[in-house]
């Protein structure tokens, strides 16, 4: 072989080696815009970032405002600005607030007393949403026990509820608003709901729109005493005083993004939590912790310099507690984007991460199984539950065919404080909640980068890949602290 030929071959070999090395290093750069670490390594970095440098506790502390974050109130506006400023500080882009109109309501004073020789106050009584202020001195009326307040209980009445307060038990088959509607049909002066045993009175909605007939919830013990007196044939007279306000408000959903890179940047993963709460206590469990979890997820994903393939949009919704008005307004305003969503992840009252639910396709369920198996250090249920119902902000998305996902968890003893005057910062199990942020951040990373998943909608009534059995549904509800 002559020297010239050897030189050419030498050059070709080296050229080939040089080209393959160039290609090897350029592919990840072209596809992601930078040299990304191996996905598994990246996920470990994310978990380490959350577990070592979490800012969840201070963010949750800041969001736990005395008086809660009721939609349309000053506290809610402070919270909206707080998450938006923090998201920007963490390096998220396109941060903005999206206003929507809604009827707002707040009670500032509630007093329920049993009128007798000496007045007996019902401690801890709460006005239910949309009850208007009573006249000075309140409204007094005799009480009639209407059992559980189901249709058959009202069917037994023969006009005797007119001008009286209807006394009903909480829970059962019917919502309070349904019990209220029936009581009004029978001419009741108002509704008095008895709390379930072992729980402080739980706030909620009775009237659909502001109305003057008072609706209140009282403790289980006070309710039992009144019911026993009525059963013994005594006349029980209650006086109810309520100060409340109703106004046309404009709360905001707070939104910020980690933009995607490359050809799939227009596709989206939504990471959502409702920022509003009731006006009792601090709204820590419901849903200060969820709001802080998605903020921590955003912080950690930015801190490890991840450049996702798809855009990850974080949304803090308002008015979940009031008929999901914030998420419904969002879905109505973003119709043209729904086909580009791969998954909407909703975090409502997270604790120690335990359960995954989805409304997605069997293929998506299998992808979640793969995720679960890769998170062996966490105790996630083997069964992926079927996500449905209207109990949180996933509902408007699932109804529109978007793939919904929820990460549920064990809340510990503080979990039962949601919707009560005890829902304070101290109720949140910090360590458990930080684990939820770590699990969520890895889930978001994987879903945003996995191009085997496709955006697009599926029918809400598509047969479930893994239907919840009644037993597991009960377990899921318990995990979510819903009863």
**Phi-psi category of 104—alpha, beta or left, where left has phi over 0 and alpha has psi -120 to 50?**
beta
Buried b (16+ CB within 10 A) or exposed e, 265-295: eebbbbbbbbbbbbbbbbbbbbbbbbbbbbb
Closer Cβ to Zn ion, 43 or 286, answer by number:
286
Q: How far is the CB of 172 from Zn ion (least distance, A)?
A: 21
Tell me whether residue 239 or residue 322 sits nearer to Zn ion (CB atom). 322
Nearest CB to Zn ion, comparing residues 267 and 286:
286
Please report whether residue 145 would count as binding Zn ion according to CB under 5 A.
Answer: no
**Contact stretch for Zn ion (CB under 5 A) within 79-87, 168-176, 279-287, 458-466:** 279-287
Q: Does 49 bind Zn ion (CB under 5 A)?
A: no
Using the minimum distance from each CB to Zn ion, give the nearer residue, 286 or 435. Answer: 286
# residues contacting Zn ion (CB under 5 A): 3
Please report how close the Cβ of residue 329 comes to Zn ion at its closest, in angstroms: 17
Helix axes 289-303, 56-63, angle to 10 degrees: 140
Nearer to Zn ion, 122 or 292 (CB): 292
287 contributes a contact to Zn ion by CB under 5 A? yes
Regarding 213 and contact with Zn ion (CB under 5 A), the answer is no
Distance CA 417, CA 422 (A): 5
For residue 445, the minimal CB distance to Zn ion (Å) is 25
Residue ranges in 39-73 assigned as alpha helix (H): 39-53, 56-63
Stretch that binds Zn ion, among 55-63, 146-154, 231-239, 348-356 (CB under 5 A): 348-356
Residue 26 CB, nearest approach to Zn ion (Å) = 47
If binding is defined by CB under 5 A, does position 348 make contact with Zn ion? Answer: yes
Instruction: Give the shortest CB-235-to-Zn ion separation in angstroms.
Output: 40
Binders of Zn ion in range 162-201 (CB under 5 A): none
Comparing CB distances to Zn ion, the nearer of 46 and 329 is 329
Any idea what DSSP says for residue 195? P
Least distance between Zn ion and beta carbon 168 (Å): 24
Q: What is the helix (H) or strand (E) element at residue 146, kind and residue range?
A: none
Q: Report how far apart, in Å, the C-alpha atoms of 131 and of each of 52, 146, 194, 204 are.
A: 47, 20, 17, 11
Q: In the bound complex, what is the minimum distance in angstroms from residue 418's beta carbon to Zn ion? A: 7
Q: In angstroms, what is the minimal distance from the CB of 453 to Zn ion?
A: 27
Question: Whose Cβ is closer to Zn ion: residue 385's or residue 415's?
Answer: 415
Considering Cα of 201, then 206, then 210, then 214, what sign does the dihedral take?
negative
C-alpha distances in angstroms, 249 versus 106, 243, 246, 303?
12, 18, 9, 36
Q: By C-beta, is 100 or 317 nearer to Zn ion?
A: 317
Cβ nearer to Zn ion, comparing 241 with 476 = 476
Check the CA dihedral 199-203-206-208 and report its sign. negative
286 touches Zn ion (CB under 5 A)? yes
Q: Packing angle between helix 362-374 and helix 430-449, nearest 10 degrees? A: 130
User: CB–CB of 151/201 below 8 Å?
Assistant: no
Tell the smallest beta-carbon distance from residue 343 to Zn ion (Å).
20
Q: Which stretch binds Zn ion (CB under 5 A): 21-29, 127-135, 280-288, 441-449?
A: 280-288
Residue 443 three-state SS: helix
The length of the chain in residues reads 483
| Cβ contact 374:301 at 8 Å | no
Question: Near Zn ion by CB under 5 A, which window of 142-150, 212-220, 244-252, 341-349?
Answer: 341-349
Q: Distance between CA atoms of 45 and 236, rounded to whole angstroms?
A: 64
Tokens at 251, concatenated: 């709360």
| Contacting range for Zn ion; rule: CB under 5 A; set: 14-22, 46-54, 90-98, 278-286 | 278-286
Give the shortest CB-392-to-Zn ion separation in angstroms.
6
Instruction: Please tell me the distance from the alpha carbon of residue 272 to that of residue 264, in angstroms, as a whole number.
Output: 21
Through-space distance between the first and last CA atoms of the chain, rounded to whole angstroms: 86
Q: Which is nearer to Zn ion, 286 or 429 (CB)?
A: 286
Reading the block at residue 118, the tokens are 């000496």
Q: Is 417 in the site for Zn ion (CB under 5 A)?
A: no
Chain residues that interact with Zn ion, rule: CB under 5 A: 286-287, 348
């Amino acid at each position: 072989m002559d020297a010239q030929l050897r030189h050419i071959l030498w050059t070709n070999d080296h050229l080939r080696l040089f080209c393959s090395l160039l290609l090897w290093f350029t592919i990840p750069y072209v596809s992601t815009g930078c040299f990304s670490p191996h996905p598994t390594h990246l996920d470990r970095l994310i978990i380490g970032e959350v577990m070592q440098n979490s800012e969840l506790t201070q963010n949750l502390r800041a969001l736990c405002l005395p008086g809660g974050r009721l939609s349309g109130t000053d506290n809610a506006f402070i919270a909206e600005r707080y998450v938006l400023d923090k998201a920007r500080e963490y390096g998220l882009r396109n941060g903005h607030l999206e206003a929507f109109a809604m009827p707002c309501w707040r009670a500032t004073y509630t007093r329920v007393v049993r009128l007798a020789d000496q007045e007996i106050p019902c401690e801890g009584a709460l006005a239910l949403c949309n009850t208007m202020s009573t006249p000075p001195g309140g409204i007094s009326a005799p009480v009639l026990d209407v059992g559980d307040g189901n249709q058959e209980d009202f069917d037994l009445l023969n006009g005797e509820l007119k001008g009286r307060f209807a006394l009903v038990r909480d829970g059962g088959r019917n919502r309070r608003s349904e019990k209220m509607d029936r009581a009004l049909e029978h001419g009741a002066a108002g509704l008095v709901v008895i709390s379930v045993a072992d729980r402080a009175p739980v706030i909620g909605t009775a009237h659909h729109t502001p109305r003057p007939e008072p609706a209140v919830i009282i403790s289980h013990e006070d309710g039992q005493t009144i019911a026993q007196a009525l059963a013994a044939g005594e006349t029980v007279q209650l006086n109810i005083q309520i100060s409340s306000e109703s106004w046309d408000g404009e709360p905001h959903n707070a939104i910020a993004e980690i933009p995607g890179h490359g050809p799939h940047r227009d596709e989206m993963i939504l990471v959502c939590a409702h920022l509003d709460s009731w006006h009792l206590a601090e709204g820590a469990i419901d849903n200060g912790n969820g709001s802080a979890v998605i903020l921590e997820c955003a912080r950690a994903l930015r801190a490890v310099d991840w450049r996702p393939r798809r855009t990850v949009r974080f949304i803090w919704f308002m008015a979940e507690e009031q008929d999901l008005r914030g998420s419904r307004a969002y879905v109505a305003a973003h119709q043209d984007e729904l086909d580009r969503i791969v998954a909407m992840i909703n975090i409502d009252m997270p604790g120690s991460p335990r359960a995954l639910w989805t409304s997605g396709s069997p293929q998506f369920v299998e992808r979640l199984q793969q995720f679960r198996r890769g998170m062996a250090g966490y105790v996630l249920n083997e069964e992926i539950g079927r996500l449905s119902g209207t109990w949180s902000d996933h509902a408007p998305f699932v109804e529109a065919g978007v793939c919904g996902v929820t990460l549920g968890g064990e809340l510990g003893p503080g979990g039962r404080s949601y919707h009560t005057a005890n829902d304070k910062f101290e109720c949140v199990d910090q360590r458990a909640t930080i684990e939820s942020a770590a699990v969520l951040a890895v889930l978001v990373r994987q879903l945003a980068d996995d191009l085997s998943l496709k955006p697009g909608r599926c029918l809400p009534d598509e047969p479930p890949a893994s239907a919840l059995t009644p037993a597991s549904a009960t377990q899921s509800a318990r995990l979510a602290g819903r009863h």
